[in-house]
Each structure stands twice: as C-alpha cells, then as structure tokens.
Amino acid sequence: MLSAGVLAAGMLAAGSSQAQEETIKVGILHSLSGTMAISETTLKDVMLMLIEEQNKKGGLLGKKLEAVVVDPASDWPLFAEKARELISVSDVSAVFGCWTSVSRKSVLPVFEELNSLLFYPVQYEGEESQRNVFYTGAAPNQQAVPAVDYLMNEEGVERWVLAGTDYVYPRTTNKILEAYLLAKGVAAEDIMINYTPFGHSDWQTIVSDIKAFGAAGKKTAVVSTINGDANVPFYKELANQGVKAEDIPVVAFSVGEEELAGLDTGPLVGHLAAWNYFQSVDTEVNAEFISAWKTFIGDEKRVTNDPMEAHYIGFNMWVEAVEKAGSTDPDAVIDAIIGVSVPNLSGGYSTMMPNHHITKPVLIGEIQDDGQFETVWQTPGLVVGDEWSDYLPDSKDLIADWRAPMSCGNFNVATGKCGGKGVN
C-alpha cells in the first residue's frame, strides 16, 4: 500500500503537470541589451501587449497564453542557445523573435531539429525558405527593389552608394541590388559599396567619400542597410558635413520611427525609408493599434514601427492557424497557416503564402521634423514576397512551396528537383 507521503507527492506532481498544461507558452527572442536593443526591445514589448490582448479575449483553445522572455543580448550564438532553452526547457508552442539575419541563421538549425515555429518580423535578404520559419518582414522585392525603382524613376538617381553593416543581410541585399542596377544599365563605376561593423561610430571618412562620389555631376543616392545603433552617428555625420536630402538622398531599410526617436531629425528632413508600414498610415485599425500601444506602454511619446506591425500580423496568423488546427502542434499549424489572411494596419489583409512569406504593401516615406514619415509613394496593391531573387543566377529558377506534395523550400523549376532544406 502507498504511504500518505508518496500519495501526496504524486498528487503534487499531477497538480504541477496540470498547472503547466493550463497555459500555452509563447517564446519572445529579442535582444534587450547590446547593439540591437535600440530596435528589438520594442518588439518584446509589443509581443507582451498582443499576448495580453489575446488573453482578454479568452486566450487560445480555452487556455491563457504565457509569455516567456529571454535576452540573447545581440550575441548571435547566444540566440541559438536561448532558442533551444525556450523550446526544450520552457516548452513554448511558438517563438517570435530575431532581428538581424545572422541571428536568424544562428537559430535555424535549432528550429529544424526540434521542429518548432519561428515568426521572424524583420525585412531580410531572401535566399531562404525554411519549413519552420514564417517570414512576416519584407523580402527584397517588397522593400529594396521597389526603393531603387522609386529613386531611379521618381528622383532620377544615376549613381548609387550601397552602404551596409557587415553581415549577411546587407551583403546579400546589395548583391541583389548590384545585379539589378547593372541589369538596368547602370555602369559599374556608378556603384559604390561600403560595409562597416556593428556599432560603428566614426563616419567622417565614409561620409566624405560619399560626398566625393556624389560630386561627379550625376544624381546620387545612398541605399542604407546600416543596422542598429550605428545609424545614430551615421546620420549625425551626414548633418555635420551638410549632406542634405535634396543633394544626396538616403533611403534606409532599417531606420524606422523607433530609431529616429534617438536622433535630432531636423537635419534629416527629406531623407527616406522604405517599409511596409508607417505609424502615420491613416486607417482606423492603425489608430486603434497606436492607442492600444500607448496605453499598454504607459508613454504617449512611444512610437510604432514596421516590425511591430509584422509581429501583429504574424501573431494573429498564428492564433488563427492554431484555432483552425485545434492544436498548437507545429506540424498541424504549418499545414493550417498557409492561406490564412488577417488584417494589416494599412487597411487591407495580409495572407500567408505557400513559401511562408506574406503579402504586403510597399511604402516609401520621407522623414518629417517630428520623427514621423510622410508616405510619398506606395504600391497600388499588395506584393507577394519572393523568397528567391530573380536577379541572382543561382536563385532565378528556384521557388518554395511547403504544401504537399511538393513540401520544398528550394524547388528548381528547370531541373524539377528539390534542393533540400530551402536554406542557402
């Protein structure tokens, strides 16, 4: 016969197990310290807001959602360790996180090995479609290529400075843009490419070089894939050296409202950014989102930005897919989420496509005195994210489709064969 102590211990264990099953855990994998904290901390905050709002609606599958927050501290190998901890130790049902492509590349093997789900909310270089990842930020054809088209067609730009932080996203994006520009008839000598480390602070020489490059008598622009807190001294040096938007406009892919909050925006008025959302978008759903955000964060001065909208879309897609599947099981969610459409903040609906990328509008915004953007151009409709670039010879014949029977991230339409995992 079991002793009272053994019975009590068994009941405690059962109670503990039951308590664990009462919540659905959601992992949040964003840098809260280090060079990327300037961009990523807000994404942690908006995820906490979205989870709180969902719990007010009754949770998911009759259970409350529970946020599990970790800090990978802008340390790329640590992202993989923290992802493993979230999945294996905390038993999260999905993870929302990463910013830089090097952090995403770091965690990909973990999500594949443990068969978990990552919702990635930031623009990236493409050349990837992984079964366990949902790319809710922009692919190059949803940001970089339209931005170059705008500068070429609307601003008459003929010389190009491709300036980026030295890691995979800027290098691959600029490789695509260089091939695109050359295909458009731009001469090689009219393209200048420069890379700097994360956290780079001494921009005097580089900005001088940009000014000299722009003094050749042809309209010149800077296409910036500079990431993180290096943007602050970069824009300050542009102002110090009198580089104005009407002379050499900068279009940025990683500078939004959050980054501008740390800058004196006066000298930057007229410079540009390409995103799929701006806080200034005038829609009822966006006004509601901004109001909810300011109430949640308790600060009227806090802003919204594009990757926040990507988390808003991705989180709501995950919720709808879980409800559709009746389960948080990753395989069931992967099958259920393709074709799911949810409202975006621009007044339309974004849809998860078979390549695990979503449909998005593309907006070009001009920096204003108040740190907001005025939309100066946008696509007439939604653009489908293209995971494999049409401008790179090794990618132009590849497509991704995670539906059965193909279930492939890099299917070669020329050879009729699947290349494997869908990751280069």
pLDDT in tens, 362-393: 999 999 999 999 999 999 999 999 999 999 99
**Distance between CA atoms of residues 5 and 333, nearest Å:** 42
Q: In the prediction, which pLDDT does 338 show?
A: 98
pLDDT of 13 higher than 90: no
312-339 residue pLDDT tens = 999 999 999 999 999 999 999 999 999 9
The CA distances from residue 193 to 124, 143, 221, in Å, are 18, 19, 12
SS3 content of the chain, % helix, strand, coil (to 5): 40, 20, 40
DSSP string, 243-293: --TTTS-EEESS--HHHHTTS--GGGTT-EEEES--TT---HHHHHHHHHH
In one letter, which amino acid is 131?
A: R
Whether the upstream peptide bond of residue 354 has omega within 30° of 0, thus cis, is no
205-264 residue pLDDT tens = 999 999 999 999 999 999 999 988 888 899 989 999 999 999 999 999 988 998 888 778
pLDDT of 423 higher than 90: no
Check if the beta carbon of residue 144 is closer than 8 Å to that of residue 171. no
pLDDT of 15 higher than 70: no
Domains and CATH numbers, the chain: 22-138+283-360 (3.40.50.2300), 141-282+365-384 (3.40.50.2300)
End-to-end CA distance of the chain: 60
Q: How confident is the model at residue 424 (pLDDT cuts 50, 70, 90)?
A: low
Counting residues of the chain whose pLDDT is more than 90, the rounded percentage is 87
DSSP string, 57-118: TT-BTTBEEEEEEE--TT-HHHHHHHHHIIIIIS--SEEEE--SHHHHHHHHHHHHHHT--E
Single out the residue of 270, 277, 264 nearest to residue 303, CA to CA: 277
**Distance between CA atoms of residues 22 and 235, nearest Å:** 49
Q: In the prediction, which pLDDT does 169 show?
A: 92
**Lowest-confidence range among 20-24, 149-153, 218-222, 411-415?**
20-24
126-135 residue pLDDT tens = 999 999 999 9
Beta-carbon contacts of residue 189 (< 8 Å; ≥ 6 apart): none
Q: How confident is the model at residue 21 (pLDDT cuts 50, 70, 90)?
A: low
91-123 residue pLDDT tens = 999 999 999 999 999 999 999 999 999 999 999
Q: In the prediction, which pLDDT does 18 show?
A: 44
Check if the beta carbon of residue 142 is closer than 8 Å to that of residue 385. yes
Beta-carbon contacts of residue 282 (< 8 Å; ≥ 6 apart): none
Sheet of strand 94-97, all strands in order from the earlier edge strand to the far edge = 64-70, 23-29, 94-97, 118-120, 133-135
Tell me what the mean pLDDT of segment 185-190 comes to: 97
* Residue whose token pair is 């992992």: 27
149-173 residue pLDDT tens = 999 999 999 999 999 999 999 999 9
Tell me what the mean pLDDT of segment 341-365 comes to: 97
Tell me what the mean pLDDT of segment 408-423 comes to: 90
Single out the residue of 151, 167, 177, 186 nearest to residue 391, CA to CA: 177
Check if the beta carbon of residue 132 is closer than 8 Å to that of residue 98. no
